[in-house]
Structure 1
Amino acid sequence: MNTNLIGLHHITAITSSSPKIFKFMTEILGLHLIKKTVNQDDVRTYHLYFTDDMGKAGTDLTFFDFPGIPKGKQGKNGITRIGFRVPNDKALDWWQARFNEFNVRHNEIKTRFGSKYLYFYDFDDQQYQLVSDEINHGVPAGDPYRHSPVPAEYAISGLGPSFVTVNYPEQLNQVLTEVMGFTKLATEDGKTLYELHDGGHGAQIVTETSVVLPDQFQGFGTVHHIAFRTEDAESLNWWIKRIQEARLAQSGLVDRFYFKSEYFRPGRGVLFEIATDGPGFLLDETYEEAGVHLELPPFLEDQREDIEAHLAGFNTEQKTED
């Protein structure tokens, strides 16, 4: 049994509008909506999964749209920026031009930890970065969505280094290095880079320390949690025991049908998850139908009529570019 964490699994954020985030993620960023379902803990809330072509673990950004939730505010003790990978430096130039074309707010291309990156923002002021894989190694990238409006040579290929901002750097460092197996690689401009097992951009997070920022207020435009990959249920059970032994606040085993999980907090305000690579998002529908219809795991099927009655339906058929 391989108990090493492999890299990033998914990130879950909060949006003000499922229809708007669907358009942003698919029509501008060119990702594949591979699953349209509900938050299993709050079934009146959509849960949308945007991935590479086949929904490979490590390529997945998901969104909740909690009804009536206010706008969030960035701050300390939260996950503060979502990272994506692109193939090379040339792709960043292409994305900068695309953001200008679609009036997407962005910064200038810069370099940190030896790689070029580009900050950008969505309509909720959610914070993102594209990171160039020009000199990257480690965890393989995903496969571009075959019907994406974005050319494959520039396409987003998975999750990349994402930011966690806290006022307890020593405690977070201990959890990352002594519990989870991260290596502390470098510090630059007040930011520290951590990596899992030489996995490169698909296995990195960046930490920042602040004692002056207010605590992050979670609402739309902020991140709910970040998840890390483990191979299967056997290795997940090993991790559950390890988290319990570390005396961290944790959930125990949670079966999400498409994967199994353990949630835990490395410290105040930040929610981590460890999730299995499988069985995957095409477990209950075909590739051609993925993301088009509302899918529910078997344990929610008997509630379908009530669930659908409390959700505002919207069309999620993606435009194809052949």
Structure 2
Amino acid sequence: MQFLGIHHVSLLTSNAEENYRFFTKVLGMRLVKKTVNQDNTQSYHLFYGDAKGNPGTEITFFDIAGLGRTYEGVSSISSTGLRVKDTEALMFWKKRFTEIGVKHEEIVKRAGRDSLLFQDSEGTKLILVADNGEKGVAPGVPWEREDIPSKYAIIGLGPVTLTVKEILPTAAILTNVMGFRHIGSYPSLKGDYAPIEVYATGEGGSGAEVHIEARPDLPRERPGRGSVHHVAFRIPNEEEYNRWVEKLKATRLPNSGRVDRYYFKAFYFREPNGILFELSTDTPGFDADEPIETLGEKLALPPFLESKRAEIEASLRPLELN
């Protein structure tokens, strides 16, 4: 069994309206699902992805009003990658960020790829990564916007970076339990620290990588707005999901057991450094209750919450997304 790559990455925001503006108007991603946090239905859960809401393209946000700042540290997912076609696209984004005042760094190499680190207004650390014809997990479908040519559009998730005290415990779970393979390392860009280790799954490529950074000098992260809640890995179907669940339960790692999110089956567990991982099925997908043409336009609720729609809508604050 092998994962297909990264399924989605979920983060925290304190301002859903600004979050929507940034990810749709600045980054040109599509809002593919406007729903609620199924574990706290008084909170919105927004999913941004490619034109069809394909697995492997979604970055999602739980909206928690009044959420404080993030205090960076270990036991964290410290950056999230977003794929673009090539280095020419990175040049487009660097120019665009400069013109509209998005905080960003220079284009540099990470794991042999050209990349561009930037932040949204809440300090979310994101890295645009250029595919440049690299083989591996297929990209998504660009979402058309007049101000962002499709050849420069974001086309999926890239590597996630885990920051930990010690690499070995996390690496052991990735390789011995989850079937990742160590494929190399690259120098830290933050100073005189150990190289960042690179692990890949499935067909490989930027959409199927986890990078691990050792920072024994840092305290544990105190999460807040802009921090990452968890990363999910792709499983093709429910049959294989069941096999993974049994395999992970046998490790005795703290876990959620089987969870039905309707759009996908989920299973959550914490690796030894405390980072939350999720396993998610590609099926049935975000078009299970909405046509692809109108994804994200209305508040979507899974069938097991539909009977409580009036109560849920009354408890949610008004959300003006335009």
Give TM-score, length-normalised by structure 1.
0.95
Q: Does 1:281 align with 2:286?
A: yes
CA distance in 2, matches of 1:29, 1:97: 13
**For residues 111 and 273 of structure 2, what CA distance do their matches in structure 1 show?**
27
Paired residue for 1:21, among 4, 19, 22? 19
Tell me if 1:102 matches 2:107.
Answer: no
Return the offset for 1:148: 6.2
Give the match for residue 227 of structure 1.
232
Q: Answer yes or no: is 1:61 the counterpart of 2:66.
A: no
Report the CA distance between 1:250 and its aligned residue. Answer: 0.9
Q: Report the counterpart of residue 212 of structure 1 in structure 2.
A: 217
1:292 to 2:297 alignment? yes
SS in 2 for 1:282: helix
Q: Distance in 1 between matches of 2:287 and 2:82?
A: 23
Contact kept, 8 Å, 1:30 with 1:148, in 2: the verdict is no
Distance 2:144 2:105 in 1: 29
Moved more, 260-269 or 154-163: 260-269
Which residue number in structure 1 is paired with residue 84 of structure 2? 86
Deviation beyond 4 Å, 4+ runs, structure 1: none
Query: Is this contact kept in 1: 2:90–2:107, CA < 8 A?
Result: yes
Aligned residue for 1:47?
45
- Partner of 1:150: helix, strand, or coil? coil
Q: Which amino acid aligns with 2:309?
A: R
Please give the per-residue CA displacement for 1:99-127, whole angstroms capped at 9, x wherever unaligned.
Answer: 01110000000012211000000000010
The one of 119, 122, 126 equivalent to 1:121 is 119
Taking the aligned partners of 1:246 and 1:168, their CA distance within structure 2 comes to 20
Unaligned 5+ segments in structure 1 are 318-322
Q: Which residue of 1 aligns with 2:130?
A: 132
2:56 counterpart SS class: coil
Equivalents in 1 of 2:202, 2:9: separation in Å?
Answer: 20
- Following superposition, the deviation at residue 167 of structure 1 comes to 1.1
Cα distance in 2, alignment partners of residues 94 and 147 from structure 1: 14
CA-based RMSD of the aligned residues comes to 1.2
1:320 — aligned with what?
none
| SS in structure 1 at match of 2:158 | strand
2:223 paired with 1:244: no
The residue aligned with 1:260 is 265
User: What corresponds to 1:313 in structure 2?
Assistant: 318
Distance 2:135 2:80 in 1: 20
Give the percent of matched residue pairs that are identical in Structure 1 and Structure 2: 41
Question: Secondary structure in 2 aligned to 1:107?
Answer: strand
Aligned counterparts of 2:251 and 2:133: Cα–Cα separation in 1: 35
Q: Which amino acid aligns with 1:206?
A: H
Once the 2 structures are TM-superposed, how far is the Cα of residue 153 of structure 1 from its aligned partner? 0.4
CA contact (8 A) 1:39 1:46 kept: yes
CA distance in 2 between partners of 1:30 and 1:73 (Å) = 28
Q: Helix, strand or coil: the match of 1:214?
A: coil
* 2:10 alignment partner, one of 4, 12, 15: 12
Give 2:168's match in structure 1, choosing from 148, 170, 173.
170
How far residue 288 of structure 1 moved from its aligned partner, in angstroms, is: 3.2
- What secondary structure, in the 3-state scheme, does the structure 1 residue paired with 2:241 have? helix
CA distance in 1, matches of 2:152, 2:266: 32
* Structure 2 residues without counterparts, runs of 5 or longer: 188-194
188-197 vs 254-263, which moves further: 188-197
Q: Distance in 1 between the 2:321 and 2:140 partners?
A: 22
Is 1:303 aligned to 2:308, yes or no?
yes
The alpha-carbon deviation at position 57 of structure 1 amounts to 0.3
Provide, for residues 256-279 of structure 1, a one-character-per-residue CA deviation record: whole Å limited to 9, x for no partner: 000001101112330000100011
Farther-moved stretch of structure 1 (22-31 vs 195-204): 195-204
SS in 2 for 1:309: helix
Look up the SS of the partner of 2:206 in the other structure.
helix
Per mean C-alpha deviation after superposition, the further-off stretch among 306-315 and 4-13 is: 306-315
**Superposed displacement of residue 290, structure 1:** 1.5
| 1:287 positional shift | 2.6
Alignment check: 8 A CA contact 2:30 2:49 kept: yes
Letter in 2 for 1:306: E
Q: CA deviation at 1:135?
A: 4.3
How far apart are the structure 2 equivalents of 1:171 and 1:268?
Answer: 7
The aligned length equals: 315
- Structure 2 distance, partners of 1:148, 1:200, is 29
CA distance in 2 between partners of 1:315 and 1:136 (Å): 40
